[in-house]
A and B are shown apart, each in its own frame.
Chain A
Amino acid sequence: MRSRPTGSVVVTGVSRFLGAHVAARLAADDRIGRVVGLDPHAPPAEFAHLLDGVEQVRGDAGSASTVIADLEAEAVVHLALATAPDPQHGGRAAMKEQNVIGTMHLLAACQQAPRLRKLVMRSSTAAYGASFRDPAVFTEDTEPREVPRGGFARDILDIEGYVRGFRRRRTDVTATVLRFAPFIGSSADTTLTRYFARPVVPTVLGRDPRLQFLHIDDALEIVHRSVVDDHAGTFNVAGAGVLSLSQAIRRAGRIPVPVLEPGLSAASNLVRNLGRSGYGLDQVDLFVHGRVVDTTKLVDEFGWSPRTTADAFDDFVAGHRGGAVLRREQLALAEQAILDGIRQARATVQEKA
């Protein structure tokens, strides 16, 4: 019933956290024959030890066609997406090149691969865009009402368009598109985790967006399951439940600083122009509109649900306790101290009376 790729699996983006970990997990799974990592960059030292069992091919997406053809790949896992422009590697232009042109090349190669049976694509819940008329909860068939301002979200819309085309042309390939909520967890290192790790956190004045997170380990699990089993379709992948931004900041013990929305957009542009990797308009959009998705389809199809948003965030908080300004224990202590103070004051007043 289930078609397991016993041949070779190509994983793109192994120089990044997600790609390296997925490749390592697939290599450790003895149901899978050969795991090949495709990436133009060498993995940094922190991931190098993970990739012991993984054959590595240096090359950009342009060389994907030769690699996939030579290996007679049976499955392709496309994880090489840049979520934020990296000023050291060419900024936004290079990011778009990698995300959009890279995916085009890869899908073109996949279309020509006769033995290919499976394609697993990384996408994002940014595919739903950002609009004030959006429904509160997105299901997989919700169409974006407005094209978002952020670069990453625009890339995601393009990429998903290419996958739709690919599905039409290669109906024999099981294509799984995973729309991930923002990753979080004690080991994840993303724009969003760096944001929550600061002691003082800027927010948009008068907005308290609803957020959902996905624990990074659960993301690895879902990708792994998508490769090993057959799950055709597009799926929202997020932890159940919702945290509002203010609530998340309070749980992390940070201090929110509300900023006017145009100010935050301008600041994000300024930071980008100064060549620093800050948070872009993607983040500003998220912090104005929020984003909540329905994961019923995922849970039904995979028979497994990621840990809840609150649990995933708790894990992150536990890993970043150092930067907390206002901890829960301190709040509890303060509460007890004030209560005792009031009780004592009242007792003395009553004794005098």
Chain B
Amino acid sequence: MTEESGRPDRPPRKSTRKATPRRAPAQKTNGATRRGSVPSTDFVVGEAASNGVAPAGPNGSGTASPNGDGPARAAAASGEPTADRHNGSAPAPLPPAVADQPGDVWDQRVAKGLAFLRRRLGGDYEVDEFGFDPELTDKVFLPMLRLLYRDWFRTEVFGVENLPANGSALVVGNHSGTVALDAIMLATAVNDRTPNRRHLRLLGADLVFRMPIVSELARKSGGTVACNPDAERLLRTGELVGVFPEGFKGVGKQYAQRYKLQRFGRGGFVSAALRTGTPIVPAAIVGAEEIYPMLADIKPLARLLGLPYFPVTPTFPWLGPLGMLPLPSKWLIEFSKPIPTAHLQDQADDPLVVFNLADQVRETIQQTLHTLLERRPDPFGR
């Protein structure tokens, strides 16, 4: 179980060499702005131990060399049956199935995979009232998104400690990138970096819920329509809610306008936070602007298709489906200090309070964007 929830994503062999140094800073308590090329050995050992597989013993003594993760990982994730064999003695208390090979890692994986398939096919799982399917999200969506998040965009995250470990918060981000990948990556970052692997419940435009398949995926991964009743209901039940007040004005802006925050609408998100007394956590996302740099917008075509804009990027529509591939920009996400709202709870209907608070959030995000951009001179650097 610990192993499963710890890292359900790791492709066993491929990423061992490269991914480790990159992940190491990602797991550190952050704030440090170092380019993580030197893996801290103590961390690597801890990681191997947290893998829940027995042979932490020989490695755990602290003598691990910089490549000391080698044997631990090989034992944890190797495909050779011989390695499994000598593993077998350590974790004795296992579910006594047909005890062919107790303690065999691959046997456990196969059994887990089959049990997962059986539960899915039999409808044996829970869905909440918004349609959120935690099992499907954790076991299928997030592992796939984590590849994009970690290996394609090389996302670095700062200020995770500003997210509450428990209880509700309204995470407000800047929106960009022609396709709203930034929302999905923000949710992946929150899940990847919070200690108890929290889910960010995204609020989406009604266009998202108008489209077949997209609407289904949005609901299953925890999203819902951006409206005050839904936002307040989620916040009251102690969820982390993610919202992008710029909406289509933000996602659909042209490349020349990059990192310039658009208007924040009517501040509905602020009144939702005020009414529930929830802190607002501003989130600045750098990197999404470059994934599909929008050079032009073919308005008549957009109107014809009922879309808010029809993008022309350096690759789309020229390269056809290949143009749908996001450019591999370098991403930085920073969560700023939470803005408390509990003391303003009775002023949720005062437009001046709402506008002032919305402005404060907007300013915070804009300034954080500038500092993050200084830290990342090359949009496509490492």
Contact = CB atoms under 8 A, between A and B. Distances in A.
Interface stretch (B51-59, B126-134, B155-163, B312-320): B126-134
B107 interface: yes
Interface centre among A132, A292, A328 (most CB of B within 10 A): A132
A305 to B, nearest CB: 15
A331 B118 contact: yes
B215 A207 contact: yes
Contact of A132 (B114, B124, B209, B229): B209
Contacts of B210: 132
A350 interface: yes
Contact of B127 (A135, A243, A328, A350): A243
B97 interface: yes
Interface stretch (B23-31, B67-75, B217-225, B240-248): B217-225
Contacts of B106: 346
B346 interface: no
A136 B131 CA distance: 9
A170 interface: no
A26 to B, nearest CB: 33
Interface stretch (A84-92, A186-194, A335-343): A335-343
Nearest to A248: B123
B243 to A, nearest CB: 15
B131 A208 contact: yes
Interface centre among B101, B129, B220, B225 (most CB of A within 10 A): B129
Interface string A53-69: 00000000000000000
Given A208-B219, A326-B121, A343-B101, A137 B131 contact: no
B121 A133 contact: no
Given A208-B220, A242-B129, A135 B121 contact: no
Interface string B120-158: 111111011111010000000000000000000000000
B122 A328 contact: yes
B296 to A, nearest CB: 29
A137 B129 contact: yes
Given A135-B227, A338-B114, A331 B122 contact: yes
Interface in A247-274: 247-251, 261
B230 interface: yes
A136 B85 CA distance: 51
Interface string A311-353: 0000000000000001010011011101110111011011001
Contacts of A261: 212
Given A132-B209, A137-B229, A335 B224 contact: no
A206 B216 contact: yes
A210 B227 contact: no
Interface string B79-108: 001000100000000000110110000110
B141 to A, nearest CB: 14
A177 B118 CA distance: 42
B233 interface: yes
Interface residues of B, number: 43
Contacts of B110: 339, 342
Contacts of B224: 135-136
A111 interface: no
Contact of B115 (A133, A250, A335, A350): A335
A134 interface: yes
B213 interface: yes
Nearest to A350: B81
A206 B210 CA distance: 11
Contact of A137 (B111, B118, B215, B233): B233
Given A248-B123, A339-B97, A343-B100, A133 B206 contact: yes
Given A205-B212, A206-B213, A136 B123 contact: no
Contacts of B111: 339
A135 B98 contact: no
Nearest to B117: A335
A350 B128 CA distance: 45
A142 interface: yes
A248 B124 CA distance: 10
A290 interface: yes
Given A207-B212, A208-B131, A349 B81 contact: yes
Given A135-B225, A331-B118, A247 B127 contact: yes
A326 B117 CA distance: 13
Given A247-B123, A251-B123, A339-B110, A242 B131 contact: yes
A241 B126 CA distance: 9
B206 A244 contact: no
Given A136-B129, A242-B129, A335-B117, A207 B216 contact: yes
A11 interface: no
Nearest to B98: A340
Given A137-B229, A242-B128, A244-B127, A343 B98 contact: yes
A353 B82 CA distance: 10
B135 to A, nearest CB: 11
Given A142-B229, A339-B110, A347-B100, A210 B131 contact: yes
Given A208-B131, A243-B127, A248-B123, 11 more contacts: A132-B206, A133-B209, A136-B225, A139-B229, A204-B212, A206-B216, A247-B125, A339-B98, A339-B114, A340-B98, A343-B98
The 5 closest A-B pairs by CB, nearest first: A206-B212, A250-B123, A206-B213, A251-B123, A135-B229
23 contacts: A132-B209, A133-B225, A136-B129, A136-B230, A205-B212, A205-B213, A206-B214, A206-B215, A210-B127, A241-B129, A242-B127, A243-B123, A248-B123, A250-B120, A251-B122, A251-B123, A290-B131, A328-B122, A339-B97, A343-B98, A343-B101, A346-B107, A350-B85
Interface of A: 132-137, 139, 142, 204-208, 210, 241-244, 246-251, 261, 290, 292, 326, 328, 331-332, 334-336, 338-340, 342-344, 346-347, 349-350, 353
